[in-house]
Structure 1
């Protein structure tokens, strides 16, 4: 049950749209992608991923970046300016560098603006060749950064890059850029694909630990399911409606963790994320998040404890649930399905705002309803139910504190790592929310575990816990005559009026 944690995270996203995770895939496909002007160069980003070094003792587990069917196209006007006999009529360069060596690409002359391509002044100072990318050798390996040249010949409209495979010998965050320094190539477009492989598969380095994480989360849900369903079957006759809802959340959580694991396994084996498979995974996740939030909202309203139904609020709860599901589904599909390119900042903000506003509204509704439920239980002197709800409130408070602390850490993590150099620990950001959600679900399962006394915590027509016990003793005794029955009927009648008036007043307030 990740409701409260993710609610707080979404409120944070209202202030800073940095929380959307990347949706990189290990096979980067380019469909006539255009180059864009940056400084004195025209470039196209080919991808950025964390790659592990190839083990020295292994010949099969090789880490590399492979170029396949890379084709560059220039305009016909530019091609016609050259003779068909020219050997070199345009240069495009592919640059691969590790994030730590980013300052070894480009430079500035006399403290001026930093340039990617070598200028006349930089040629005098650095000894670089004008019209090519300025590259300085890495301090750890003189062969890095890697620069691969591709030449246009004659007046041809296109040129193809030879099949290349660049082995990765050092663990790091690697970046690939295609650069053209010739102003005539400003309308350049590119097609083809690059394959980024780690020693254990195609799964990006920052995502690889999540495959093992989802194995452990699946096992945790299996253990919780066994414990819960054992009690669920054992005390079937005493099960509450609320416990049916908890069962659904456990089942959805287990199903989601298993689906994520197999989706990552497929991603690792093939290097791509099939649209159908990934859509199923995010849909199950959206359903689970929606049901979790509605469950916490219903518990906070006292459903099944201080009121038998949600009454007139049922339609409102269902409406907010459907709306939240649609917003969450749209956000997750855009983030995970299909594309391998990061969406722009404006698009991120546009997609996250509906989800964040709904989360903010839900958290306000949850705490308002919880406060009213606690007041009702205190007024009715239901000490057993009040104790359950106080423990539930404490669990939510701990979740709030943990969420706020983690959001602060996430802000610090992202602010101090703009180039993703700490990518090997980035998976923890995602994993924390699943762990916190599972922990809160365990607390709720503990508080509302099926037992012989489950009905004691259900909606009752008695004034308080003391009256419940008195009614139980009266009905269990035989041969006491009609006086006991009359006394019990009076109590029931009196309390029915009290419950009905109280529920009507609460519905009006809602």
Structure 2
């Protein structure tokens, strides 16, 4: 039997890692988020965004103006806290900080500065004992100030008025003077505010626009990749048109993949550019971007299946596999669209997201298994027929490319895990994670265009019909080769028991049993 568990597990690990590609919005909406218990306080975790330091430094890091050119800012212009009727009807406590809600802004790496850990205490809110010792103010969240930046972590206080159920936070604009990964917490130490919710929004404007710092470089990257595909198209499309009558169906398939790749990257660039300029992304553009991306993924995988099966190059048809390929392609498109929409718009439960990702990984595993198995069978067939030396060398070179791509994928999975485990320090290279997959896909497309270009005499890779008797002889030799017997002319047709490293990789990912 094949080494199925090893090959299956390795490929699932590979493909789950390639799915990490989510773009965050710069405007975060809080729709009646409820305060939950944490230690001896209540809180609502806000959002996390990467922001670059402002070019124009602001001394007090707070501003009420609207001119933020050259500055990175966090805007709180529409935040409302709503407590329960029971809490509003209670007599106001005599404590100084009764009815206080605090908005805390700090760098993620300074999370330990929130709470009493530096006081060797597990509490979040200041207790009477700590207040008596002069360590903090009773009824407030304990904060350890940064000696180099005495105003950080930042604290914004909002008080409920007597018998009022709602209170609106005063508009604030915090100017960011230091590059980092920032987060927001809404917290209260007043237990009477249990059941309070927060609604409204916060706006995170980066130095160059509204794109988060960790994904901002993708705007230029998508523009660069779009131009790269345009250049490839300018070279490929005229050749296809020039030698249309002498071409093969593979050329049309390659043209379709290039066209969809150009459309996908153009939409992604426009989507990011719009988001960067106004802070929101048009839903229609996002939907089209996800659709084009999913279509491109499905077509790319079908293209690899067609090539490795030898359709139009080694054999005249797909031997009844057309329906299966189309079915797998449709499944790839549907799952990819569902996953893309879930990543972009959210709203899907964690279990649903896990199911989608698992379905995608299994589907991709089926594709890779089929691709490498088809490649193995095609190479075996070309080895038997000595008239196909040119095609054999072509497919051997292509096999080297595919195996190299797989090895690079495994190496990148390690990089992804390392980056996401150390995101607090490595957020500035996070954009490279999705970028790598686009570069790899482009490199593979360039190789395919180079190996199977349209030309006036495509006999080097074009399928040529042969006599039926020659087909039967080839198939007979193939069977004899598997058995290690002699052909009718007495020549030895032996199996090569020594597998090359390349063949070993194909065996692994194709899950093909090695002859015993």
Provide the TM-score with structure 2 as the length reference.
0.84
- 1:379 paired residue number: 384
The structure 2 residue matched to 1:69, chosen from 74, 78, 81, is 78
Contact 1:305/1:458 (CA < 8 Å) preserved in 2? Answer: yes
* CA deviations over 1:237-293 (Å, ceiling 9, x no partner): 211101110111111111111111111001101111222211110110000001001
Cα distance between partner residues in 2 of 1:225 and 1:17: 29
The structure 1 residue matched to 2:398, chosen from 378, 392, 398, is 392
Q: Give the alignment of 1:82-481 within 5 angstroms.
A: 82=91, 89-108=98-117, 111=120, 114-124=122-132, 127-336=135-344, 338-339=345-346, 346-381=351-386, 382-417=388-423, 420-462=424-466
- 2:496 paired residue number: none
Aligned CA distance change for structure 1 residues 100 and 71 (closer, same or farther; 3 Å): same
Aligned CA distance change for structure 1 residues 17 and 120 (closer, same or farther; 3 Å): farther
Cα distance between partner residues in 2 of 1:40 and 1:360: 48
SS of the residue aligned with 1:195?
strand
Coordinate RMSD, CA, aligned:
2.8
Q: What runs of 5+ residues in structure 2 fail to find an aligned partner?
A: 1-7, 58-66, 479-511
Contact 1:63/1:198 (CA < 8 Å) preserved in 2? Answer: yes
Cα distance between partner residues in 1 of 2:477 and 2:242: 35
Cα distance between partner residues in 1 of 2:169 and 2:143: 20
- 1:48 paired residue number: 48
Aligned CA distance change for structure 1 residues 229 and 91 (closer, same or farther; 3 Å): same
Aligned-pair CA distance for 1:321: 0.9
Aligned CA distance change for structure 1 residues 292 and 399 (closer, same or farther; 3 Å): same
Cα distance between partner residues in 2 of 1:216 and 1:110: 51
Cα distance between partner residues in 2 of 1:21 and 1:81: 48
How many residue pairs align between the two structures?
A: 463
Contact 2:30/2:198 (CA < 8 Å) preserved in 1? Answer: yes
Cα distance between partner residues in 2 of 1:148 and 1:24: 25
Aligned-pair CA distance for 1:39: 2.2
- 1:495 paired residue number: 470
SS of the residue aligned with 2:321?
helix
Aligned-pair CA distance for 1:183: 1.6
Contact 1:45/1:177 (CA < 8 Å) preserved in 2? Answer: yes
Cα distance between partner residues in 2 of 1:9 and 1:189: 45
Contact 2:106/2:152 (CA < 8 Å) preserved in 1? Answer: yes
Cα distance between partner residues in 2 of 1:123 and 1:86: 13
SS of the residue aligned with 1:236?
coil
Cα distance between partner residues in 1 of 2:445 and 2:210: 33
SS of the residue aligned with 1:237?
coil
Cα distance between partner residues in 2 of 1:396 and 1:167: 49
- 2:26 paired residue number: 26
SS of the residue aligned with 1:32?
strand
- 2:37 paired residue number: 37
SS of the residue aligned with 1:303?
coil
- 1:12 paired residue number: 13
Contact 1:17/1:348 (CA < 8 Å) preserved in 2? Answer: no
Provide the TM-score with structure 1 as the length reference.
0.85
SS of the residue aligned with 2:411?
helix
